A and B are shown apart, each in its own frame.
Chain A
């Protein structure tokens, strides 16, 4: 077994290096004082400082946060209710819906983006913050629903019966038993939806209009117009933010009760 593990371990280490190498390099170089070269010229925070003074970037950040906030609230509400409602349906219909819910997640994002754009253009809705938010809610609903359903299915139905037996009406059962037990899953879903919305590029790309530039759109146009050290700093920040968001979400979901 030892011999065998050696080879496997080497490939695994390589794979891990492959996963983290570029990220680490990116973060390191965001502190590089050199302007355009990859040679190390000492550490600096000036690229980070430059970000704070970039008005367009700040506006994009504000847009991103607003879109993420509103779409998360919308998707958590709609997706959470969807999960609760599905629970009561006949088994066959639940399976069918579950299959359908996966569609928005597997369909190529380009296609979702152009489809939404076509819809808005066809019904003459001007592209802007609103259309972006509407679109983000679409891909966040299935995420939220699936996460909450996963938890719901782990809940013992007998607990709800026990609450009813102890005098709780259906609202009280929901309020005192189902919701508290779902709370970690709901917060987990909120964090994931927020992160995914904050990171989304393609759906935003096709549904945004003038004035609704988000952070990823800004990053994209910065990359396209030439690599600058500010992008490194901005990218490093975005990396850290999404990692924290996801780690927190996983922590909440894993925690029992």
Chain B
């Protein structure tokens, strides 16, 4: 009954906003403690640093120009590289996992999904610390490799770019699995059988049918992994050495160690620009029903 359904919507719009004011305190809070601070950071990124670390309110592009320095460029570059690598590895690990979960018996699916999500909800610091134990000089990874006879003396695993990427993959794999699961779950298995029936090889089934049809999930998952990876701080801080710094560490360094707030602010905004670009990309491709990024 298309036209009669209209009447169900109409009254809500009619006496609209009778209790809209309920939203005001929360919005005010977010404006005051989220938007205002961001604006402040933005403003400070165009100020300059005082002699003793304070802020001199004179408009300047200098901070953004400073960022062109090779040192900062290198940090920016390796941040992008680590995040991209993390995203790729998450996809390679996450796709089979999502596929298996989506094709398992219906009553097992929520349980398996919960298993994937559960580590994600535990303390990030603790999870990263767990990898410090694994990758230490005398950690489990080295012991295992030694026992298998693959190496004769312990490798330097901790405080390397590899450790950072492992930590990031570990931290954000669930972000890849969830959207992929949704996409695979929606994929009608009959389509795979049809491709099979039409002489497609396994590889062809994957590349010609499964991957194109789950593309929204793939793109969504990749962006969801990329966003927190590029802005991470704890992982490179604990697992990376001084040479595997990422943007997050640079920001912290500028603010708390060097106390160059204007430069730190400029770095922050470069990071924010990258993240916002990814968010916009995400919403462009997300279908309306998928909902926003729920969880952190």
Indicate, yes or no, whether A interacts with B.
Answer: yes
A→B interface (CB under 8 Å): 3-5, 7-9, 11-12, 14-16, 18-23, 25-26, 29, 37-38, 78-79, 81-82, 84-86, 88-90, 97-112, 114-119, 122, 134-135, 137-139, 141-143, 145-147, 150, 157-158, 170, 195-196, 199, 201-202, 206, 216, 219-220, 223, 227, 231-232, 235, 238-239, 242-243, 245-247, 250, 254
A88 and B17 contacting across the interface, CB-CB below 8 Å: yes
**Does B44 sit within 8 A of A, measured CB to CB?**
yes
Interface residues of B in 209-239 (CB under 8 A from A): 227-228, 230-234, 238
Shortest distance in angstroms between A16's beta carbon and chain B's nearest beta carbon? 7
Determine the chain B residues whose CB is within 8 A of the CB of A227 once the complex forms: 132-133, 136
Shortest distance in angstroms between B237's beta carbon and chain A's nearest beta carbon? 9
**How many positions in chain B have a CB within 8 Å of any CB in the partner chain?**
91
Determine the chain B residues whose CB is within 8 A of the CB of A201 once the complex forms: 124-125, 234
Best-buried of B34, B134, B173 by chain A (most CB within 10 Å): B34
B129 and A219 contacting across the interface, CB-CB below 8 Å: yes
**Does B68 sit within 8 A of A, measured CB to CB?**
no
A160's nearest neighbour on chain B, judged by CB, is B12
B131 and A22 contacting across the interface, CB-CB below 8 Å: yes
A115 and B130 contacting across the interface, CB-CB below 8 Å: no
Determine the chain B residues whose CB is within 8 A of the CB of A103 once the complex forms: 34
Give complex CA distance A219, B202 in Å: 48
Give complex CA distance A109, B296 in Å: 10
Give 1 or 0 for each of B101-123: 1 = CB within 8 Å of chain A CB. 10100000010001111110111
B→A interface (CB under 8 Å): 8, 12-13, 16-27, 29-30, 33-34, 36-38, 40-41, 44, 92-94, 96-97, 99-101, 103, 110, 114-119, 121-127, 129-134, 136, 138-140, 143, 169-170, 173, 202, 227-228, 230-234, 238, 247-248, 251-252, 255, 261, 264-265, 268, 271-272, 275, 279, 283, 291-296
A88 and B134 contacting across the interface, CB-CB below 8 Å: no
Q: Given contacts A105-B292, A106-B275, A231-B129, list 15 more A-B pairs with CB under 8 A.
A: A12-B96, A12-B97, A19-B116, A38-B136, A38-B139, A81-B25, A81-B26, A89-B23, A107-B231, A108-B228, A111-B41, A115-B38, A116-B33, A195-B121, A223-B132
Assuming A22-B127, A81-B22, A98-B292, is B231 touching A110 (CB within 8 A)?
yes
15 CB contacts below 8 A, A to B, read A11-B93, A20-B119, A25-B130, A78-B29, A85-B19, A85-B20, A85-B23, A85-B26, A106-B227, A107-B231, A110-B268, A111-B271, A114-B268, A118-B44, A201-B125
Task: Give 10 closest A-B pairs by Cβ, nearest first.
Answer: A108-B231, A85-B23, A82-B26, A85-B22, A115-B37, A22-B130, A11-B96, A246-B121, A78-B26, A235-B126
